[in-house]
């Protein structure tokens, strides 16, 4: 694409080589009394643009930032020369080594260079856009390939995990049910033992309670029989007061 639209290098080089001559022309025109004040002011402005180091020293890309200043300076010189007759104009141009058509040619070179830069910028933007689109398409294809390769692996893993989980659940089911039934039988036996142990525990508790009462002296005692004094009877001769009439009678 760049081969069909080359940079106007020769024209720009020729213009740069004529810059010192344009400076001399500005100096001569600024001292010419035949020019009006407006044309001399334009020439002094052109000389300032051309002599300024800020304008003439190229930046990152040579002449890109100074093309508008050079175009203004050349246009001012052309405007000043237009105020002179043909003989006086040729005198000034010949004194600095320029020809009558150099100013017009250099102005056209500036226009062609500006147009080329616009086209080059558009081409660069288009290439960047195409490169970004290709990178995005490549990323999408890579992501699709990775997804297509990962899908069978995921399905295989799922298919392997499924039977394993079902087998584990099937094996664990009887074990869990057996453990549950054993726990239920143990609970039933414990409940029966608790019911049988109730009366025995009560009997043991009663015996222990009676034994404790006996050991502590609190066991029930036999009732005391109290004998009251019997009425005295008149005893006959030969008896003593301690004799029991009941024994004698018996």
Three state DSSP letters for 7-36: CCHHHHHHHHHCHHHHHHHHHHHHCCCCCC
For the chain, what is the mean pLDDT? 74
Instruction: Judge whether 89 lies within some domain.
Output: yes
Domain contains 86: yes
Rounded distance between C-alpha atoms, residue 35 and residue 196, angstroms = 141
Task: Find the Cα–Cα–Cα–Cα dihedral 112, 117, 120, 125, rounded to 10°.
Answer: -150
Asked whether residue 64 is domain-assigned, the answer is yes
Q: What does the alpha-carbon distance between residue 207 and residue 217 come to, in Å, rounded to a whole number?
A: 15
**Which two three-digit tokens encode residue 195?**
């019911």
What pLDDT, on the 0 to 100 scale, is given for residue 2?
A: 54
Query: Is 168 contained in some domain?
Result: no
The answer to whether position 71 is within a domain reads yes
The answer to whether residue 223 is domain-embedded is: no
* Cβ atoms 235, 241 nearer than 8 A: yes
* pLDDT at position 221: 46
pTM: 0.51
Tell me: pLDDT of 42 over 50.
yes
- What φ, ψ does residue 41 adopt, rounded to 5°? -65, -40
Q: What count of other Cβ atoms lies within 10 Å of the Cβ of residue 94?
A: 11
Q: Please name the residues in contact with 77: beta carbons below 8 A apart, sequence gap of 6 or more.
A: 22, 25, 26, 29, 43, 46, 103
CA dist., res. 68 & res. 71, Å (int)? 5
pLDDT at 152: 78
Those residues whose C-beta lies under 8 Å from the C-beta of residue 89, and which sit 6 or more positions away, are 81, 100
Whether residue 15 is contained in a domain is answered as yes
Total number of domains constituting the chain: 1
Q: Which of 103-117, 135-149, 187-201 has the highest mean pLDDT?
A: 103-117
Q: Mean pLDDT highest for which of 70-74, 95-99, 145-149?
A: 95-99
**CB-hemisphere CA count at 13 Å for 167?**
6
The answer to whether residue 184 is domain-embedded is: no
**37: Cα separation from own chain's centroid:** 68
**Which residue is it, tokens 């020369």?**
81
Give percent of the chain above pLDDT 70: 59
Q: For residues 39 and 67, is the Cβ–Cβ distance under 8 A?
A: no
Domain that holds residue 48: 9-132
Q: Residue 134 and residue 157: Cα distance in Å, rounded?
A: 35
């Amino acid at each position: 694409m760049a081969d069909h639209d080359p940079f106007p290098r020769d024209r720009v080089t020729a213009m740069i080589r004529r810059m010192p001559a344009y400076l001399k022309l500005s100096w001569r025109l600024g001292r010419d009394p035949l020019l009006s004040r407006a044309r001399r002011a334009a020439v002094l402005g052109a000389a300032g643009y051309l002599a300024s180091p800020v304008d003439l020293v190229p930046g990152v890309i040579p002449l890109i930032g100074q093309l508008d200043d050079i175009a203004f300076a050349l246009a001012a010189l052309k405007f000043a020369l237009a105020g002179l007759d043909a003989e006086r104009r040729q005198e000034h141009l010949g004194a600095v080594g320029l020809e009558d058509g150099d100013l017009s040619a250099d102005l056209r070179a500036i226009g062609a260079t500006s147009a080329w830069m616009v086209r080059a910028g558009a081409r660069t933007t288009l290439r960047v856009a195409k490169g970004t689109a290709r990178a995005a398409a490549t990323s999408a294809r890579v992501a699709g390939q990775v997804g297509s390769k990962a899908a069978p692996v995921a399905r295989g893993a799922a298919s392997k995990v499924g039977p394993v989980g079902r087998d584990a659940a099937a094996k664990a089911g009887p074990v869990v049910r057996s453990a549950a039934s054993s726990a239920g039988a143990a609970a039933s036996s414990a409940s029966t033992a608790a019911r049988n142990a109730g009366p025995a525990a009560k009997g043991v508790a009663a015996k222990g309670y009676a034994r404790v009462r006996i050991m502590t002296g609190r066991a029930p005692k036999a009732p005391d029989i109290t004998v009251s004094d019997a009425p005295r009877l008149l005893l006959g001769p030969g008896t003593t007061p301690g004799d029991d009439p009941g024994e004698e009678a018996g």
